[in-house]
Amino acid sequence: MPFFNKRKINLDLNNMPKHVAFIMDGNGRWAKKRGLPRLVGHNAGTETLKRIVKESKKLGIPYVTFYAFSTENWKRPSDEVNGLMNILVKFIQSEINEIHENNIKVNILGDIDRLPDFAKEQVHFALELTAHNTEMQFNIALNYGGRDEIIRGIKLIHQDLLDGKILPDQIDEALFSNYLYTSGMPDPDLLIRTSGEVRLSNFLLWQLAYSEFSFEKVLWPDFDEMAFRNAIYEYQKRNRRFGSV
Ligand code: FPP
C-alpha cells in the first residue's frame, strides 16, 4: 500500500526521505513576541524537537539531524550559552531512557571537547548508552560548523596519507565523506529551516550538495507534525535529478 492518509496528507511511503536535517531557527523571536526571555523560546524549541523525533520514527525516517549549537553560537551572551548547555543536559537526563527504549542511536556532529565538563559527561553517557541501537539515528549538531568539519576532515586525511594508510589517488568524494562527522550516513535528502531565513549558516556544507531545501515561515517552536508532513509532501512532488536530465 503506497499511500496512507493521516490528517489529510497523503505521503508516498515508497518515497520517504532517508535523512532529514533541521535548522531549528526562530526560538528567540518566538519568545520575544511573547515578551519572554530567549531561553523560554529555546525550551519551547526543545519540545518541538522531541515531537519531531517521535514523528520521524513513526514515519520510518532512519536519520534525523538537528542543528542545536554552531561554532559561531559561542559569541552569544554567556547567559544564553550556559542556558543552552543546561537545556541540553536536562534534555538528555529526562529523555535518554525513552530514546534508548525506542532503539534510537544518538550521534553528535561537532567538536564536543569544547563543551563544559558537565555537558560533556552527559553527552558521553548518551552516546555510550545508545551506541548499539539500530532503529533510527538521531544526530545532534553541537559546536558544529560546516567549514570546520571540512578542515578537520582534511587534517585527518592528511594524517592518514602521512601514515601510509591511504594513497593520494584513492582520495575521491566517497573516501572524503568518511572523514566527516556523518561518516557512513546517507546525505540529507531534505533540509528544513524554519523562521523564514533563507541561508545555510555553515550547516552540513558538504552533505547538502544535492539536498532539497524547505524554508518554512513558521518559527521553530510552532513547527509541528502537520508542518513536517507537509514539507515531506512537497519534497515528494519534486523531481530530483542529481545533475542528470
Ligand atoms: C536558533 O534560534 C536556535 C538555536 C541557536 C538553538 C537551538 C536549540 C534548541 C532548540 C535546544 C537545544 C537542543 C537540544 C538537542 C536539547 P535563535 O535563537 O537564533 O532564534 P532567533 O533567530 O529568533 O533569535
Question: What is the distance in A from the centroid of ligand 1 to the CA of 223?
Answer: 13
Question: What is the distance in A from the centroid of ligand 1 to the CA of 38?
Answer: 9
pLDDT of residue 130: 98
pLDDT tier, 2 (very low <50, low <70, confident <90, very high otherwise): very low
Per the CB < 8 A criterion, the answer to whether 19 and 189 are in contact is yes
Q: Which pTM value belongs to this model? A: 0.95
In a domain, 124, yes or no: yes
Question: Is residue 176 over pLDDT 70?
Answer: yes
For the record, the C-alpha cell of 93 comes out as 537526563
> Which of 11, 20, 47 lies closest to 219 in space, CA to CA?
47
Question: What is the distance in A from the centroid of ligand 1 to the CA of 41?
Answer: 8
Per residue in 26-57, pLDDT (tens digit) is: 999 999 999 999 999 999 999 999 999 999 99
Residues recognised as catalytic: 25, 73
In CATH, what number is assigned to the domain containing residue 220? 3.40.1180.10
Of 42, 46, 65, 143, the residue with max ligand 1 atoms within 8 A of its CB, to mutate for a pocket test, comes to 42
For the record, the C-alpha cell of 198 comes out as 533563507
What separation in angstroms does the CA of 135 have from each of 62, 132, 152? 7, 10, 29
Question: Is residue 114 over pLDDT 80?
Answer: yes
pLDDT of residue 243: 78
Q: What is the DSSP letter of 202?
A: T
Our answer on whether the CB atom of 157 is closer than 6 Å to any ligand 1 atom is: no
Question: Is residue 15 over pLDDT 60?
Answer: yes
In a domain, 142, yes or no: yes
CA atoms of 100 and 104, how far apart (whole Å): 6
* Among protein residues, the one whose CA lies closest to atom 22 of ligand 1: 26
pLDDT of residue 197: 98
Question: What is the distance in A from the centroid of ligand 1 to the CA of 4?
Answer: 33
Question: Is residue 232 over pLDDT 90?
Answer: yes
Per the CB < 8 A criterion, the answer to whether 74 and 81 are in contact is yes
Among 8-12, 117-121, 181-185, name the one with the lowest average pLDDT. Answer: 8-12
For the record, the C-alpha cell of 176 comes out as 572524503
Per the CB < 8 A criterion, the answer to whether 160 and 166 are in contact is yes
Residue pointed to by grid coordinates 569544547: 114
In a domain, 108, yes or no: yes
In a domain, 174, yes or no: no
pLDDT tier, 10 (very low <50, low <70, confident <90, very high otherwise): confident
Per the CB < 8 A criterion, the answer to whether 19 and 62 are in contact is yes
In a domain, 167, yes or no: no
* Among protein residues, the one whose CA lies closest to atom 5 of ligand 1: 69
In a domain, 165, yes or no: no
pLDDT tier, 7 (very low <50, low <70, confident <90, very high otherwise): low
Long-range contacts of 44-47 (CB under 8 A, 24+ apart): 44/221, 45/220, 45/221, 46/87, 46/91, 47/221
Our answer on whether the CB atom of 144 is closer than 6 Å to any ligand 1 atom is: no
* Residue 199, domain extent: 18-151+188-235
* Among protein residues, the one whose CA lies closest to atom 14 of ligand 1: 88
> Which of 177, 173, 139 lies closest to 156 in space, CA to CA?
177
What is the number of domains present in the chain? 1
Question: Is residue 1 over pLDDT 50?
Answer: no
CA atoms of 149 and 76, how far apart (whole Å): 21
Among 13-22, 185-194, 223-232, 235-244, name the one with the lowest average pLDDT. Answer: 235-244
In a domain, 1, yes or no: no
In a domain, 180, yes or no: no
Which amino acid is residue 239, in one-letter code?
A: N
CA atoms of 161 and 152, how far apart (whole Å): 14
